Structure 1
Amino acid sequence: MRPKDGETSAHTARLRRHQPHWPQARWPSPTDATAVRNFLDDFLPRWQEAGLDPALPDHPDVAALLACVGGNSPYLADLILRAPTDFATLLREGPDAFAEATLAAVEALPPTVDRDSLCAAMRHAKSRVALTCALADIGRFWPLETVTQTLSRLAEVTLDAAVRHLLRAAHDAGRLSLRDPGRPTWKSGYVVLAMGKLGARELNFSSDIDLVVLFDAELHDDPDTARQMFIRLTGDLVRLMETHDANGYVFRTDLRLRPDPSATPLAVSLPAAIAYYESLGQTWERAAMTKARPVAGNLTLGREFLRAIHPFIWRRHLDFALIDDIHAMKAKIDRHRKPGRTGLAAMPDTTLLDPDAGMEWLLGHNVKLGEGGIREIEFVAQAMQLVWGGRTPSLRDRTTLGALRTLTRSGHMPREDAQVLARAYRLLREVEHRVQMRADQQTHDLPTTVERFDALAIFLGYASGGDFALDLLPQMRAARRIFEHHFSSPTRATAAEEADLDLGADDLPARLGELGFPDTDCVAAASIMEHWAGNSRRALRSERAHALLRGLLPALLKSFMARRDPLACLRHFDTLLSRQRAGVQLLSLLERNPSLLERIAAIFDASPFLASHLADTPSALEGLLEVQEEEDEDISSAPALAPRQVQLLADEKPDLETLVMRLRPVVRAEEFRLSVARLEGRVDEDTAAHDRTAMADAVMSVLLDCVFETHRTRYGHVKGGGMAVAALGKAGSREMMAGSDLDLMLVFDHPEDVMQSTPAQESGKSLSVSQYYLRLSHAFIAALTAPDAEGPLYPVDMRLRPSGAAGPVAVPLSAFRRYHAEDSWTWERMALTRARFITQVGERGTRTRLKKTWLTDLDAALALRSDSPPEKLRADAAAMRHRLARDLPPSSPWDIKRREGGLMEVEFIAQTLQLVAGTAKARSPVTAQAFHLLAREKVISRDDAQVLITADEYWRSLQSVLRLLCGPTPPTDPAQDLPPATLDLLCRSMNVSGIDVLATDVTQLAETVRVLFVRLIGSVEPDS
């Protein structure tokens, strides 16, 4: 793209006018010439199509910039390609004006903006600011502070816009009362605290944002409703910030710095947070709170909270507990040292002066957590602030560089040390940014190969990787030496030294080897067990817990060493222990029940997925205990216990929030009980699926009743009206497996002459019938999906309702009837074959009528329609199977549901032929039962029915076992992907001698099912 005659000089003059914004710079050289060419081949046509200045890309400064970006950072290149007009504006206006205009546009968004527009605006702003900060950083137009502060301000304005929108939306929906809807955050009871780098305004290029969300429900008219709303709103806030869409995402969001994250909801009440910090707060939480800053919501409320916990953060007297904690924190950092190589502090000058040796040492080094890294510099500044900040308020600077300056001025740190740390910090943050700019990945690791290390060095402006190492390594060594000088740990005795196995001893790896632990794993095992020696694990804060653990260690290690992968078992146990609020109960239980330890070890060894589930879901332990107690009992007597327990909880008439809270551990314990029983072979797949579904049915029934009682108190009742819940999918067919969601359909009915609800009292509120049931539906779904630290009760999918995701959550029965009589697609009617009535609410006489009417309308919807003869139904089903195979292909032959001849095709045959039959006599939501009925009605032969029944049971069983062993993603090749113990359990569960036999059985069954599908339904080729 060349300028026309006479344009070059005019363009040069235009660019020169903007030189104060973009002064000439020597952009780093590109490291990938092919990438540059490909980038320019894409860029120049887009630039031209946008009607932008044709001469600008040929200007030497801009050409060098484009080559630098195209040859070093695919992510930045993509940002330019996606918005060439924004790039042109950035070049024209310079980074300051461009960033300011971008942030101002987000700040100007009204709280009433629709959700889609808000998401698009925030993500557009993220792209613009990311590109601005990257170029300003690479070109050295901005210092580090301006880059990190601009990224931080982007996080602040997007959080503020999102919170204002969510509060206003809740108010407009009648779920929350605001003092001034025009200013949603004013005197609201909701505040977002920025923690970590956002709190210090030090966000790096691809940083997540650490938040603590607090609320004071008493500031609202209905505190109970406000409390629930604030927790839900926080989940919405996280999704607004981190969900990826076509425009990218805003920020990854982390809420784990809130008080006791494993036991608290996403948003924590102010009184509970204050009580926690005053009684249970730890030193690391004090350190985290030094950077806390309110950034969205009611900022005054946030400042009041920080004032309330001020004595917790800034203690006026230095205590020995703090010194001990500082040493423990320092030891935790030390564990990131790479084993088997010279420590950085002891590195000789000869290594520093040898570029090849320096580069070799740096390969793969973590510039954040490794020796001499960013975290160590932050730790020096932050720990010194904690020690002295209670007495010297001037030290309370949230930023790392600011803290180093104040520590120098106050005399608590030598000026030379502060200068060394500051220089190293700036360089390390610049390196961190370049590493992350390449692909917008939250990584802090230097490249692991010399070639990629050279490329990073060139991107940083160095001539080679050796030159980069000669600059970086000496600064890191100097920072590490200062770190060790300030916080070298004195030798002290610990209680574990008196035990047979000293968790704090240097010879721990050797001792583990002597006990029989695999030699290759001793070092890694020792590094895990070192965590148990001090107070770094919340579960091991008491001496009683330490004593129990010391007593259990021999049995623990013996049990793990008897497994295929002792190290994996040890890691899973450490994770389980780290998630416990108190370890005494768990450790005492294991002490009294050695066989329970064996069961835990077996789970750890065979199913990494269940091991992770147990660690992530502490309430699942109750299910494990129940399994232990029932070991010698008839398992068939157990299934009814959990649904009965659900009903007993509801019989106590708790409020909705309390009921949900009490249901969570029951649901999770039952889920884990069934999963373990299934793997241990004590229940078959049909029994586990039936029990899991019965549990979901019971939960939905009691929740709907509770939600309806609250709803009726607020909005009265609809005379003669009622609402029903129907399940589809695996919940409808009573075939739920681990991780299954609930496919639901909500329908309501009422007399035609009833248009409004009748208030419960004269002062009560009346709603139109549609609004009445819409709000009831939303409240019911919200109760099912309200998350806590362990997730929701059940995930819910409503896309199978009429009109799909675009339609209302609850539909009138008349609309359901009309839609399926006139407009429904074949696939929607196929889905209805698995519909099952679950529960309903309404006036007493209405409930029976509603159920009968729903079942009648369902029969009518599934009857053979004149516009859908059997040949069309078969053709539609075959075409849909082809589209699914094309658009959602199986991830591997072990993707049991989607593979050719897999479970989906079995279900398609059952669903399609039930529509072809056109009679209720041939229908059942249970797939296997449907095949029996289809054979009885002579729609298929008995032999075909038996083959399909066998295939259905086999596929569901295999899919369920794979999900329990591997999680939601099936393995690509079990023989290569699964540990030996897991592979053995898979084969044992499927009653085969080895994985080769299982693979052969799978292939043969899939071929059989595909032949039946083609014969009974039709070809899945495009011309079908």
Structure 2
Amino acid sequence: MKSVKRLDTVSADVIRPLSQAEAKTALAALKDIGKSEASVAQMLKEGGALKDFLVAAFSLSPYLRDTASVSPSFLAQAIGEPVEPALSSLIDKARSAWRPVDGKIPSEGEVMTVLRSAKRAFSFILALADLARIFSAKETTCWLSEFAQASVASAVDHLLLATHESGKLKLVDPEEPSRGSGLIVLGMGKLGGRELNYSSDIDIVVFFDPEVGILADPLDPSEIYGRMMRRLIRILQDRTADGYVFRTDLRLRPDPGSTPLAVSMDAALIYYEGRGQNWERAAYIKARPVAGDMAAGDNFLKLLTPFVFRKYLDYAAIADIHSIKRQIHVHKGHGAIAVKGHDVKLGRGGIREIEFFAQTQQLIAGGRMPALRTRETEVALGALAEAKWIKPEIATALTEAYWFLRDVEHRIQMVHDEQTHRLPDSNAELKRIAFMLGFADVAAFSARLESTLKTVERRYSRLFEQEEGLSGGEGNLVFTGQKDDPDTLKTLAELGYERPADMSRMIRTWHSGRYRATQSVEARERLTEMMPALLKAFGESRRADEALLRFDSFLKALPAGIQLFSLIGKNPPLLSLIVTIMASAPRLADIIASKPHVFDGMLDPGLMSEVPTRDYLSKRLDTFLSGSRHYEDRLDRLRIFAAEQRFLIGIRLLTAAISGDDAGRAFTHLADLLIDAALTAVKGEIETAHGTYPGGRVAVMGMGKLGSFELTAGSDVDLILLYDYDSEAFESLGPKPLDAQRYFTRLTQRLIAALSAPMAEGVVFEVDLRLRPSGNKGPVASRIIAFGKYQREEAWTWEHMALTRARIVCGDESLGNEAKAIISEVLATKPDVKKITTDVAEMRALIAEEKPPRDIWDFKLIPGGLIDIEFIAQYLRLIAPTRAGSKDLLVDTYGLSTAQALKALGEDLPERADLDTCLEALRLFTELSQIIRLCVDGPFDAKDAPTGLVERICRAGDCPDLLTLEGEVKRLSGEVRGVFERVMKR
């Protein structure tokens, strides 16, 4: 026959008073209670073990003494009834708080009052039974968990019934509100494992099944259920005059920062299948339906089983779980094992280490051993021993330690009903805990506690001896959970990151699957594998944080990641290339972040070995355009191709696979091909709408850097559109005929739009037409006859200077030849040297006045910079007909770069060394300009430039540091300025 557990059967020496003074205070409180409760007065009169126990208990726990003083009936009930029926009746009272009385549904306030009153009485009676050793720690946690479940279930039933009455949903059975409701409330952590302590928060997650069809408005479930959950939290945790029931936490739901308080079942399953983390798997080991639709809750957990318990042995989960433990140590400041001030839950050797010990083994082997899928820690340890996964003596030692530490935890919380797990710092207060546990003194308690903590720490530490191999040779690198792993922060700092916490938080975002590139499990696994190499590589760049932030922007924009991560893992040079971009070239990094498709070309194994010649680019453009279906599609493809190839030319330049001069030529070949393709597309559109123009011919002339094959990554293009037609024709031959001027003007405007109008894929080029005859005042297109007449009779010196770099880019060959003949004729005309010299010198002075250089790094505008060198070459070309012999009059600089033109005309320089000076400066300034324009938008700021960029330009200038390079720029620019001045004096 089962014995009836009563407080009046308590042993006389189970606990002892804290002190005689405290005992007197406790006895006085009991006598006051006896004045209103006869059973208490009778107990005091009779004396005995119960009286001694209560005096000791009230001396040790001010909380129990004050509760009894405020609510004397609680003590009367505790000593007057068997303990278990009393506790069960209070659980029933809480569970029934929602039920209508005389057909009237209780108000929310009435439910709150009932739950709080029952909780206070329940906690009081249970604490006395616990101190009296009527219950073990295990039984105490079960009772607390049962009451919590009853409270949550009652509150949920109340909310469902109230919402039913408001007409927002229709219950299957108002007598059983939760049945068939599809509302799932899972108890997590200690609530799920039936292991609550006196002051526990309760962790719950709430899901709903929209398919059950109980909502009046099925389109608004999140709002309805979310409002219910906010009310649930208020019912359970708001403090009123009657206290509170339980602090309630819903942060274990999927992605709590961006999801409602109640999540649809389908959304949750999709999240856990695609983005669920190891720490969430660990949390679901203890998950248990505690309220709402219990059948639906059981079914939901069955669906989650493959997520929690994987079919294969999952050793990778160990590092994740251990990282959570390390996070706790740092967050809470737990150091070595001690007694004073030690946290018995989160500190070393504490309760959490025992729980984690069991959970890691369950995650590793639970997929293949269903017997390990148990919620309770003690049962889990026993199952692990039964499965021979751990030794039986380990299970026994950890189980004993677990319940002893749980007892200590309960006593700590029993003193003042506080949510704490930390032992007192003073001997006087430690004595209170020791006596509550039945120890004779603090020394005996301390010895037992230290022995227990060391046992747990030793077993736990051995479990993670292989952790280094799981975390990467560079140190610990774990990025799961909701807080930073302290060892990982240390590793990041050692790798070179200045803000390891920020970097860790960002990387955890990758692992949480919030980016498209990391949403699949496979992608995250590949990312985890490459993480040590990735972080080491970025750490070696001098501004590692900035580089990694740029990589984050790139990752955020990627549509998918598994292919990239796999390639990086197998191809270290590709990782090195990515790091180079992120560390050196913010402009390129921004491009691949906004247009990740440009990165596809980097996957070409021949990228670095093939020089982007005109033929190379032409073949790829033809292939890329071959599938275009219509005009807009063709223009979109042009933009995509332009962005990708500019990027790839830039990559070659950045890695020194090609020189700055090579890059200028490649950018120009690309521009030629793109302009040609755009002109072809535009002509087709114009001819469809307006027909062909009789005798019509069109050619595009490139000016400036486009004409001299010296474009940079950020250059716009200077164009002049030339045309001609049959003078006897008055309009085009089409459905909507146009006269010649309107026809070719419209064609020019369409070409400009095709190249420079911003579209979803960006622009092909920015177009500048200011070098056309008469500049902005002239027509956008020039007839060849007018162009020739203008250049012969009206053009200014600066326009003839521009003509020295003019080149036909595309269009009708015969018209191009006519334009070339005009250029040759104009440049062969004997010039007025004095006028040209004066004009060139004045022009340079005007530029210096209106556009002074920003600093020494403004290679274009500094005295002796690129403009001076270009002016020297153009000046020599304009005066060549007067200075050269008859044979040299045939010198043709058409289509030559500035360097080639200087070599052709260099004999006319004042001194023999001048040509070498100009060519050396031109090579350096071109190289540096190309790299800087590629890497940054806007001016180069030496103080704020990415370290990788500084290193790259120093390497390009063959200088050890920026100061030396600056000195070299100053030396060469000074020498070039001297050449310019000597040329202008001749």
The TM-score normalised by the length of structure 2 is 0.51
Mapping of 1:892-903 within 5 angstroms?
892-903=855-866
Deviation of the 1:488 alpha carbon? 7.7
Measured at CA, do residues 520 and 489 of structure 1 come closer, stay the same or move farther in structure 2, by a change above 3 Å? farther
Partner of 1:581: 559
Partner of 2:922: 952
Deviation of the 1:951 alpha carbon? 2.2
Whether the aligned pair in 2 keeps the contact of 1:607 and 1:966 (CA below 8 Å) is: yes
Alignment length (residue pairs): 544
Whether the aligned pair in 1 keeps the contact of 2:769 and 2:776 (CA below 8 Å) is: yes
Deviation of the 1:804 alpha carbon? 1.7
Whether the aligned pair in 1 keeps the contact of 2:625 and 2:634 (CA below 8 Å) is: yes
Partner of 1:503: 480
Structure 1 portions without partners, runs of 5+:
1-317, 324-387, 397-402, 418-482, 841-846, 1020-1024
Measured at CA, do residues 944 and 616 of structure 1 come closer, stay the same or move farther in structure 2, by a change above 3 Å? same
Partner of 2:589: 611
Q: Which amino acid aligns with 2:672?
A: D
Find out whether 1:828 has 2:799 as its counterpart: yes
Partner of 2:531: 553
Measured at CA, do residues 609 and 713 of structure 1 come closer, stay the same or move farther in structure 2, by a change above 3 Å? closer
Partner of 1:693: 668
Mapping of 1:156-555 within 5 angstroms?
391=217, 494-497=276-279, 498=317, 499=320, 501-514=478-491, 516-518=494-496, 520-555=498-533
Deviation of the 1:816 alpha carbon? 1.3
Find out whether 1:772 has 2:749 as its counterpart: no
Partner of 1:999: 966
Give the secondary-structure state (helix, strand or coil) at the position aligned to 2:750: helix
Partner of 1:869: 832
Whether the aligned pair in 2 keeps the contact of 1:922 and 1:934 (CA below 8 Å) is: no
Partner of 1:723: 698
Mapping of 1:594-609 within 5 angstroms?
594-609=572-587
- Work out the CA distance in 2 between the residues paired with 1:825 and 1:1001: 36
Find out whether 1:1016 has 2:983 as its counterpart: yes
Partner of 2:418: none
Query: Who wins on radius of gyration, i.e. which is larger?
Result: 2
Q: Which amino acid aligns with 1:502?
A: F
Q: From 621, 624, 641, give the equivalent of 1:666.
A: 641
Measured at CA, do residues 484 and 900 of structure 1 come closer, stay the same or move farther in structure 2, by a change above 3 Å? closer
Measured at CA, do residues 799 and 485 of structure 1 come closer, stay the same or move farther in structure 2, by a change above 3 Å? closer
Deviation of the 1:638 alpha carbon? 6.5
Give the secondary-structure state (helix, strand or coil) at the position aligned to 2:499: helix
Whether the aligned pair in 1 keeps the contact of 2:869 and 2:922 (CA below 8 Å) is: yes
Q: From 807, 810, 820, give the equivalent of 1:855.
A: 820
Give the secondary-structure state (helix, strand or coil) at the position aligned to 1:1017: helix
Mapping of 1:920-999 within 5 angstroms?
921=891, 923-924=893-894, 925-935=896-906, 938=908, 943-971=913-941, 974=942, 976-999=943-966
Partner of 2:689: 714
Measured at CA, do residues 907 and 696 of structure 1 come closer, stay the same or move farther in structure 2, by a change above 3 Å? same
Whether the aligned pair in 2 keeps the contact of 1:727 and 1:743 (CA below 8 Å) is: yes
- Work out the CA distance in 2 between the residues paired with 1:998 and 1:954: 10
Q: Which amino acid aligns with 1:800?
A: L
1:564-618 C-alpha deviation (Å, 9 max, x unpaired)? 2332232121111001122233223323323311221122223333322322331
Partner of 2:8: none
1:553-573 C-alpha deviation (Å, 9 max, x unpaired)? 222223222332332232121
Q: From 767, 792, 798, give the equivalent of 1:796.
A: 767
Give the secondary-structure state (helix, strand or coil) at the position aligned to 1:640: helix
1:990-1023 C-alpha deviation (Å, 9 max, x unpaired)? 112222221111111111111111121259xxxx
- Work out the CA distance in 1 between the residues paired with 2:491 and 2:262: 28
- Work out the CA distance in 1 between the residues paired with 2:221 and 2:846: 64
Partner of 1:128: none
Measured at CA, do residues 504 and 319 of structure 1 come closer, stay the same or move farther in structure 2, by a change above 3 Å? farther
Give the secondary-structure state (helix, strand or coil) at the position aligned to 1:904: helix
- Work out the CA distance in 1 between the residues paired with 2:653 and 2:764: 21
1:295-324 C-alpha deviation (Å, 9 max, x unpaired)? xxxxxxxxxxxxxxxxxxxxxxx9999x9x
Displaced runs of 4 or more, over 6 A:
318-321, 392-396, 410-414, 483-493
- Work out the CA distance in 1 between the residues paired with 2:670 and 2:965: 32
Deviation of the 1:773 alpha carbon? 0.9
Q: Which amino acid aligns with 1:1017?
A: M
Q: Which amino acid aligns with 1:850?
A: L
Measured at CA, do residues 771 and 519 of structure 1 come closer, stay the same or move farther in structure 2, by a change above 3 Å? closer
- Work out the CA distance in 1 between the residues paired with 2:948 and 2:688: 55
Find out whether 1:884 has 2:855 as its counterpart: no
Measured at CA, do residues 554 and 944 of structure 1 come closer, stay the same or move farther in structure 2, by a change above 3 Å? closer
1:647-672 C-alpha deviation (Å, 9 max, x unpaired)? 33455674322222223333223222
- Work out the CA distance in 1 between the residues paired with 2:600 and 2:857: 32
- Work out the CA distance in 1 between the residues paired with 2:516 and 2:715: 33
Find out whether 1:905 has 2:868 as its counterpart: yes
- Work out the CA distance in 1 between the residues paired with 2:684 and 2:542: 53
- Work out the CA distance in 1 between the residues paired with 2:621 and 2:278: 44
- Work out the CA distance in 1 between the residues paired with 2:278 and 2:815: 67
Partner of 2:241: none
Give the secondary-structure state (helix, strand or coil) at the position aligned to 2:891: helix
The TM-score normalised by the length of structure 1 is 0.49
1:487-542 C-alpha deviation (Å, 9 max, x unpaired)? 78999994243355233341335423236444742111122113223343232233
Whether the aligned pair in 1 keeps the contact of 2:690 and 2:738 (CA below 8 Å) is: yes
Whether the aligned pair in 1 keeps the contact of 2:697 and 2:723 (CA below 8 Å) is: yes
Deviation of the 1:898 alpha carbon? 0.7
Deviation of the 1:817 alpha carbon? 1.8
Q: Which amino acid aligns with 1:809?
A: V
Whether the aligned pair in 1 keeps the contact of 2:756 and 2:766 (CA below 8 Å) is: yes
Whether the aligned pair in 2 keeps the contact of 1:504 and 1:533 (CA below 8 Å) is: no
Mapping of 1:9-48 within 5 angstroms?
none
Whether the aligned pair in 1 keeps the contact of 2:229 and 2:261 (CA below 8 Å) is: no
Deviation of the 1:775 alpha carbon? 1.4
Measured at CA, do residues 584 and 320 of structure 1 come closer, stay the same or move farther in structure 2, by a change above 3 Å? farther
Measured at CA, do residues 827 and 596 of structure 1 come closer, stay the same or move farther in structure 2, by a change above 3 Å? same
- Work out the CA distance in 2 between the residues paired with 1:638 and 1:872: 41
- Work out the CA distance in 1 between the residues paired with 2:259 and 2:892: 79
Alignment RMSD, CA only? Answer: 3.8
Q: Which amino acid aligns with 1:588?
A: S
- Work out the CA distance in 2 between the residues paired with 1:703 and 1:834: 22
Whether the aligned pair in 1 keeps the contact of 2:664 and 2:930 (CA below 8 Å) is: no
Mapping of 1:747-758 within 5 angstroms?
747-758=722-733
Whether the aligned pair in 1 keeps the contact of 2:277 and 2:480 (CA below 8 Å) is: no
Deviation of the 1:695 alpha carbon? 1.4
Give the secondary-structure state (helix, strand or coil) at the position aligned to 2:918: helix
Structure 2 portions without partners, runs of 5+:
1-180, 187-213, 235-255, 280-316, 321-470, 472-477, 882-888
Partner of 1:591: 569
Give the secondary-structure state (helix, strand or coil) at the position aligned to 2:782: strand
Find out whether 1:657 has 2:643 as its counterpart: no
- Work out the CA distance in 2 between the residues paired with 1:744 and 1:508: 58
Give the secondary-structure state (helix, strand or coil) at the position aligned to 1:834: coil
Q: Which amino acid aligns with 1:957?
A: E
Give the secondary-structure state (helix, strand or coil) at the position aligned to 2:702: strand
- Work out the CA distance in 2 between the residues paired with 1:489 and 1:587: 34
Deviation of the 1:747 alpha carbon? 0.8
